[in-house]
Amino acid sequence: MDAGSALPSVELSNGQTIPMLGLGTSHWGGYSHAAVLYALGACGVRHVDTARRYGCEERVGAALRESGVPRASVWLTSKLWPGDMGHAAARAACLRSCRALDTDYLGICKAIGVSNFQQHHVEELQEDCDVTPHVNQVEFHPYQQPRELMSFCRSRGIAFEGYCPLAKGQVLCDPTVRAVARKHARSPAQVCIRWSLQNGVITIPKSTKEARIKENCQVFDFSLPAEDMATLDGMHADRKLIHLTQPMWQG
């Protein structure tokens, strides 16, 4: 994918559209300002995921300003932390993130979501709230494929978003993944990201290296046939690497 090319998007239940491929950021592994600028500029990425907990909201906001990409063209996601619960605390935290990101909205949300919610969490939320979350962001990679949760979310009009698509790098040395990658003359990372996208999952790989970001974005000029999709689908081992639950806001 080159700068200016159109990314496939998913339409949410409120009519907003979210790019299917984004860039994840976090406090784990550090933050690279140059990498975010590269993603926005050279690679045409228009979806960036962050959180106050990651400690890089200000730098993400600065990268967006420096990139020259219009704010309206970029989907930004940030997140609440459990200590921000309650209407007043949540609003204050949301507005604080808006200030850090130097944006007028997120706090004035275009979409709301949750992260790491299981089915019972969503059901409890729907009992207590008037608005159903538009997105559920959950760990998703060949070793962790919560298919029942995915089906449940989609049945409720909730888009399914997957983070950690490379299983923190663990899946890149897997012989099954490497065999599929050799077959298509692609990298293991590209195969995993393509597999995730073909499952209809919004996917946010994280990297601080420009070459890796470029590689991760070059997944729209090939597709995996049914037999390879089935092979990767068969790798599920219920191996979770992250154990958190939190709300998030987007736009």
Chain centre to alpha carbon of residue 111? 14
Of 199, 177, 217, 166, nearest to 39 by C-alpha is 217
Compute the Cα dihedral for 248, 75, 13, 190 and give only its sign: negative
Question: What is the rounded CA–CA span in Å between residue 249 and residue 75?
Answer: 11
Cα-Cα end-to-end distance for the chain: 23
Is residue 137 within 8 A of residue 116, CB to CB? The reply is yes
Report the C-alpha gap between 120 and 100 in whole angstroms. 33
Q: Which residue among 31, 38, 54, 143 is the active-site one?
A: 54
Point out which residues pair with 168 in neighbouring strands: none
Phi-psi region of 238 (alpha: psi -120 to 50; beta: other; left: phi over 0): left
Please tell me the total number of residues recorded for the chain in this structure.
251
Reply yes or no on whether 38 is catalytic. no
Residue 235 three-state SS: coil
3 state DSSP class of 61: helix
Cite the active site residues.
Answer: 54
